[in-house]
Each structure stands twice: as C-alpha cells, then as structure tokens.
Amino acid sequence: MTNAEVTQVLDQVADLLEFQGANAFRVRAYRNAARAVQGLSEPLARIAADENRKLTDIPGIGADLSAKLRDLLATGKLPLLEELRALYPAGALDMLRIPGLGPKKAAALYRELKIASLDQLRTACLAEQVRALKGFGAKTEAAILAGMEFAATVQPNRLYWAVADDFARQIREHFAPCQEIRQLEIAGSYRRGKETVGDLDILIDAADPTPVMDRFAEFPGLDAVLGRGDTKMSIRLATSLQIDLRIVPAESYGAALQYFTGSKEHNIVVRARAKDRGLRINEYGVFRVTDPDAKGPTAGKIVAGKTEAEVYAALGLPLFPPELREGRREFEWADSGKLPRLIELSDLRADLHMHTTESDGRSSLAEMVAAAQARGLAYIAITDHSKRVSMANGLDADRLKRQWDQIDRLNDQLKGFRVLKGVEVDILEGGPLDLDDSTLALADWVVASVHYGQNQPREQITRRIVDALSHPAVCAIAHPTGRLINIRKSYEVDLDAVYATAVRYRKFLELNASPKRLDLDDLACAAAKEHGVPIVISTDAHSTAGLDAMRFGVLQARRAGLTKDDVVNTSDWPAVLRRLGRAGG
DNA sequence: GCCGTTTTCGGCCCGACTGTTTTCAGTCG
C-alpha cells in the first residue's frame, strides 16, 4: 500500500467523522496523520516493516493510529473506515462538496430530511422543506441551490501556479491606479509557490477601504460579489476563480501577511510557539497577554505586527521564505540553525533539456541558443527526442549526428557560451534505450525518459528506469514520474530504487520546470536530496518562450528546501562533469 | 486522537462574515 493510498484512507475517515459530528480534534488528528504520511520521504510500509523503528516516531501518529496503520498495511482495510461508510449512503457525503454547506448542516439535512443524494437535496430545496429546519432559512435554502449549481459547473482542477501568476499580474495592474493603496501583496498558496492554486488572497494596506473595494467590484471578468464587509470582500470570476480581498491597517500588515500566507499547518505551529512565550498571535499582530480577562483580537500589549520579519522575530523565529511554510521541516531547521539558503533563479547557469524544430520544438537551434544567451545562461544542452517518438519526429542516429555536427560548427562561432550535444533518449517498452551505445557515447549530455508503456506494473517500469540510469551514457532521468498535473497520474515507479541507483552511479534526476509537469515534485525533490541525489532543473522548452519556465522549477525546488549546491546546473560544465565522475575539469 | 521543560489530563489557532436569531452557530480561510 502506497503512502498516497494510506493518506486517502485517513482523509476519508476524517470526512466521515466530521459528517458524524465527531470531536473536531479527533477529526484533526486524522487529517494531521494523513498529512504526516503524505509528507514522508519513504514508504510507510518500510518503516512499519523495520523492527528498529516505530510508527509513533512520526509526529502526529500515536499509539492508536500506529496500530490502525499496521492493520491497514497488513490487510489493506481499515475496520473504522468500513464501519463509518456503512452508516451513511455515499450520496449523503456529496453534500460536503457544496460551498457554504459544511458537515454540521449536511448532517442535519441527512438526519432530518433523509437526504441521500444531491438530486434529493435539490428537490427538498425546491419544495421549501429545507427552510423549515432549525438553523436554516430561506436564504440558506437559496444559497444551497446556488452552491449546487456552481458545484455542478466548476471544473474540479486547481489552477496551475503559472496561470495564477497571470491573474496575480492582472490584479496588481487593476489596483495600480488606486491612490489609497499603500501596500499590496497576494498571499496564500500562490505566495508559497504551490504547484496549483485554488483561489487568490489579496492583502491591502489602504487609507480608506471603500474605494479599494469599489475598485475590486470592477475587476475584469467578475461574475459575482460573494460577500463584502468592512475589512473583507470576496468575488468570483466567470472562470470560477475566487479572489478574496482583505484590508488591514499598516501596523498589522506584517501579521496579516504572515497569517494569510499560511499554510494552515505552518500557522498552527506558529501559534503554539507564541503561546509558549505567553504571546498571542493573530492577523492583527503579536500581543502580550497582560489581562487574561480582556477580550477582543487586539487585547493586550502589541509586540509586533508591522512586518513579517518582526512578527517572526517576536517568536524567536527567522523570516521563513514563503515556499517553506508548509509545516514540514522548517521549524526543525530553524531550531537547529540549519534553515537552508534556498536556490534562486539567478543561480542557474544552464538549461539541460530543450527541443528544436528538428523534433517537436517550434524554434530552431539558432533561435534557442540566442534566447538562452538573452536569458543570461552560460551553456545549454539540445535534447531532441529519439526516433521512437515518431509523433514528435524523433531523430535516428544519422539525423542526430548531423545535428551534432551543426552544433560543433555553432560552438566554433560562439564566445563565452557553449551548446552541449545532447538527446532525450526514450526508454523503450522492453527496457533498452532507443539509440545504440556507440551513438550515445558521442553525446555530451543524455537525458533518458519514459514516454511509452506508462501503465506497466511497478516492477517493470522501475526496472526500465533503473537500468537506464545505470547506462554509462545517461546523465539524468527526465520527468521521472511522468505525471501531468490535473491530467495524468505518475507512473507506478519505485522512487526509492531510483534514488539508490542514482547515488550508486553518480547520476542526476530532473526537476522538469514545465508548469504542467513539475516532476519531480517538491516532496520527491526533498527525498532525493535526503538520499544524496543531485537535481537538475530543466525547462523541457519546446520554444524560446518555454525557456522562461525555469522560474516555476526554481519555485518547486525552493519548496523542497534545495540550495544552489543541491542543483547541478548552477555550476559550470566542467563541474557538472566532475559530479558525474567523468574527467572534464 | 495526539501530546507533554505548567506531562498522563486537559488542552488542542483564531477571527470575519452570514444567516438566523436577539446572543449564537456554522462555515470559511
């Protein structure tokens, strides 16, 4: 059973417990455990199988869950989940997905009206039965109908970070003429650089909220104003994207930015730290609690709030880069003084995976080189597809050698820039590489990748990747899991075996920077680092514009806690060769 | 259900907004 499957089971238990009206902290315990398993850098099953280790050493897993997880790993089933599922019709739980309808109200609808499907819920609303329930009313009934209509049309996918970034740019431009605004930041998962973003949270320090909110109501593509109060306003765009706006005073701006950047898990720890120091933190600031009876969010003496740095400093914490604020290992790093100095876009000296018109790219070799030079890179590798990828006009040995001759001639003319003779060689369904060894031996840089036979069983696909990685000519595996965010799951590959092979043969793994791939993802990059595998961040550009994807890869690497040294292509080419264990420096 | 330098019980992050009530519960972030 994979960690992802265990995570799903724990989350399902949490959903059902919530519906049941169980103790909220018990629900949270299951959610925490789900997250803890999801964030593991190795299979839970392996820890369970190791006599010298205890599941209770994983934070968030105690004696009870340890036993339940062992049971789950051994049998593939969790009795608690089966019991909870038997209590409610599956359709009743669908109500939890309607915005505005939470577990309490959904459970009341099931209990009082025996609602067991969304169709029944719609009928009950139309028959005006819902408004008769205690705690419900005509407005709630209408809100449920509207919420159902919305839930039916919305695409469940979250936005790619790159798309969210475009909205962020639009937001900044839209508010630029607003004179009242002193500071503006887009917080939330967007600021943390998460690979997908569900909604956007704008934080504004303004002299007067009214004109700012009026301006917000004029945002292009607006579909509905979902709510507007004195300090908070929410809108939804026709594209279904929700954007929240909060106006905060300057003295609280840093506290609010910290608070609304999250993550929720990070902030829970921050709050606990505050409490340890006799402080209280909320979006208004850090307060010393002098009179325990004093009520209100700003009761007590304010200690910090103007900037994020002073808020963290008041708690004895460093200013965490937003990308690290996931409640993973950042506090452990901070406590031991080992908060990594994260890689930056300007650290990258090379891009080692890109295509040209020779295969399925849209820009020529010369255009790609000029574009790479314009972006300040010192060298690149041209890695067109090999012949198996016929759809992409992949190259056979002869065409490849002609391209490499062309690159040799180009290099003669270039000053202070080098083009590596490379290829993205396919790992064929049966295992061997798509080009012969003598051809591959002539290349400077070879990335190997799986495009066919993606649905093979775990052992088979892992064997293919491991074998490719141990081939002397191969330098790195490109997009090692094959996932396409929101579109396609990753292959069933045993990444631990891949890490071990990479270390053994001194090879690299790619972090593909394409916004739809980001493969390896942040957690896998962190695991690779723990195992000692260097990462190469590449764009897989299919046009000159594609080279700009590097920043998406860098964000993901930062979320993994990677430093400049963890990433191969921050070095010059001779240093890369040394890292591969080849002569060259 | 987890957790512990106020430890084995009693906490567990906290506030805005909405709708329903009339002081609060539910939902959301």
> Is 90 exceeded by the pLDDT of residue A103?
no
Residues A167 and A309 in one domain: no
Q: Which nucleotide is nearest to A108 (CA to C1')?
A: B26
Token match 């406590």: residue? A335
Angle made by CA atoms A319, A37, A28, in degrees to the nearest 5: 75
Q: Which nucleotide is nearest to A131 (CA to C1')?
A: B20
Among protein residues, the one whose C-alpha sits closest to the C1' atom of B29 is A260
Q: Which nucleotide is nearest to A283 (CA to C1')?
A: B15
Q: Is residue A452 part of a domain?
A: yes
pLDDT band, residue A294 (cuts 50/70/90): low
Among protein residues, the one whose C-alpha sits closest to the C1' atom of B24 is A135
Q: Which residue has the higher pLDDT, A96 or A424?
A: A424
pLDDT band, residue A349 (cuts 50/70/90): very high
Is residue A533 within 8 A of residue A566, CB to CB? The reply is no
Residues A18 and A136 in one domain: yes
pLDDT band, residue A536 (cuts 50/70/90): very high
Retrieve residue A358's tokens.
């020779």
Residues A217 and A139 in one domain: no
Distance A135 CA to B19 C1' (A): 8
Q: Is residue A584 part of a domain?
A: no
Q: Is residue A585 part of a domain?
A: no
pLDDT band, residue A412 (cuts 50/70/90): very high
Residues A87 and A7 in one domain: yes
pLDDT tens digit sequence for A473-499:
999 999 999 888 876 678 889 999 999
Distance A34 CA to B18 C1' (A): 31
Distance A31 CA to B27 C1' (A): 18
Low-confidence winner among A98-107, A130-139, A153-162, A525-534 (lowest mean pLDDT): A153-162
Is residue A156 within 8 A of residue A181, CB to CB? The reply is no
Residues A327 and A417 in one domain: no
Q: Which residues of A271-298 are buried (b: 16+ CB within 10 A; e: fewer)?
A: bebbeeeebbbbbbbbbeeeeeeeeeee
Confidence at residue A275, expressed as pLDDT on a 0 to 100 scale: 85
Domain count across chain A: 4
CATH code of residue A470: 3.20.20.140
Q: Which nucleotide is nearest to A26 (CA to C1')?
A: B1
Among protein residues, the one whose C-alpha sits closest to the C1' atom of B11 is A25
Confidence at residue A278, expressed as pLDDT on a 0 to 100 scale: 85
Query: SS3 sequence, A322-391?
Result: HHHCCCCCHHHHHHCCCCCCECCHHHCCEECCECCCCCCCCCCHHHHHHHHHHCCCCEEEECCEECCCHH
Distance A64 CA to B2 C1' (A): 9
Domain endpoint, select from A100, A134, A153: A153
Confidence at residue A293, expressed as pLDDT on a 0 to 100 scale: 61
Q: Which nucleotide is nearest to A95 (CA to C1')?
A: B27
Among protein residues, the one whose C-alpha sits closest to the C1' atom of B6 is A276
Q: Which nucleotide is nearest to A282 (CA to C1')?
A: B14
pLDDT band, residue A42 (cuts 50/70/90): confident
- The whole-angstrom separation of Cα A455 and Cα A433 is 18
Distance A77 CA to B8 C1' (A): 31
Q: Which residue has the higher pLDDT, A314 or A240?
A: A314
Entry field: residues in chain A: 585
Average pLDDT of the residues in A163-178:
91
Retrieve residue A258's tokens.
């910290």
Confidence at residue A456, expressed as pLDDT on a 0 to 100 scale: 81
Q: Strand B: which nucleotides have any atom within 7 A of a protein Cβ?
A: 1-3, 6, 11-21, 25-29
Domain endpoint, select from A248, A270, A290: A248
Distance A268 CA to B9 C1' (A): 22
Among protein residues, the one whose C-alpha sits closest to the C1' atom of B5 is A276
- The whole-angstrom separation of Cα A125 and Cα A117 is 13
Confidence at residue A88, expressed as pLDDT on a 0 to 100 scale: 85
Q: Is residue A241 part of a domain?
A: yes
Residues A331 and A349 in one domain: no
pLDDT band, residue A195 (cuts 50/70/90): very high
Distance A62 CA to B1 C1' (A): 8
Residue A240 DSSP one-character state? S
Q: Which nucleotide is nearest to A59 (CA to C1')?
A: B2
- The whole-angstrom separation of Cα A160 and Cα A157 is 9
Distance A195 CA to B16 C1' (A): 28
pLDDT tens digit sequence for A207-229:
899 999 999 999 988 888 999 99
Consecutive H or E run containing A581: none
Q: Which domain holds residue A369?
A: 345-579
Q: Is residue A364 part of a domain?
A: yes
Max CA distance (Å), chain A: 82
Distance A396 CA to B5 C1' (A): 68
Confidence at residue A145, expressed as pLDDT on a 0 to 100 scale: 87
Residues A235 and A303 in one domain: no
> Is 60 exceeded by the pLDDT of residue A155?
no
> Is 50 exceeded by the pLDDT of residue A198?
yes
Q: Which nucleotide is nearest to A268 (CA to C1')?
A: B13
- The whole-angstrom separation of Cα A573 and Cα A351 is 11
- The whole-angstrom separation of Cα A377 and Cα A370 is 10
Residue A22 DSSP one-character state? -
pLDDT band, residue A134 (cuts 50/70/90): confident
Query: pTM of the entire structure?
Result: 0.80
Q: Which residues contact A434 (CB under 8 A, 6 or more apart)?
A: A386, A387, A388, A394, A425, A426, A427, A428
Low-confidence winner among A176-180, A299-303, A473-477 (lowest mean pLDDT): A299-303
Among protein residues, the one whose C-alpha sits closest to the C1' atom of B28 is A100
**With 0-12 CB in 10 A as exposed, 13-18 as middle and 19+ as buried, what is A5?**
middle
Q: Which residue has the higher pLDDT, A96 or A497?
A: A497
Q: What is the rounded average pLDDT for all residues in chain A? A: 90
Domain endpoint, select from A335, A370, A390: A335
Kind of pairing, strands A242-248 and A199-206?
parallel
Residues A425 and A525 in one domain: yes
Distance A134 CA to B24 C1' (A): 13
pLDDT tens digit sequence for A540-558:
998 888 899 999 999 999 9
Average pLDDT of the residues in A315-322:
94
Residues A540 and A571 in one domain: yes
Q: Is residue A541 part of a domain?
A: yes
Q: Which nucleotide is nearest to A135 (CA to C1')?
A: B20
Residues A135 and A223 in one domain: no
Average pLDDT of the residues in A503-511:
97
> Is 50 exceeded by the pLDDT of residue A304?
yes
> Is 80 exceeded by the pLDDT of residue A584?
no
Residues A103 and A68 in one domain: yes
Distance A230 CA to B21 C1' (A): 22
> Is 60 exceeded by the pLDDT of residue A585?
no
Cross-strand bridge partners of residue A425: A448
Confidence at residue A389, expressed as pLDDT on a 0 to 100 scale: 84
Distance A488 CA to B28 C1' (A): 30
Low-confidence winner among A137-141, A168-172, A455-459, A551-555 (lowest mean pLDDT): A455-459
Q: Which residue has the higher pLDDT, A88 or A330?
A: A330
- pLDDT over 70, % of chain A: 97
Confidence at residue A295, expressed as pLDDT on a 0 to 100 scale: 66
Q: Which residue has the higher pLDDT, A36 or A562?
A: A562
Q: Is residue A135 part of a domain?
A: yes
Residues A89 and A210 in one domain: no
CATH code of residue A52: 1.10.150.110
Confidence at residue A400, expressed as pLDDT on a 0 to 100 scale: 92
Confidence at residue A142, expressed as pLDDT on a 0 to 100 scale: 87
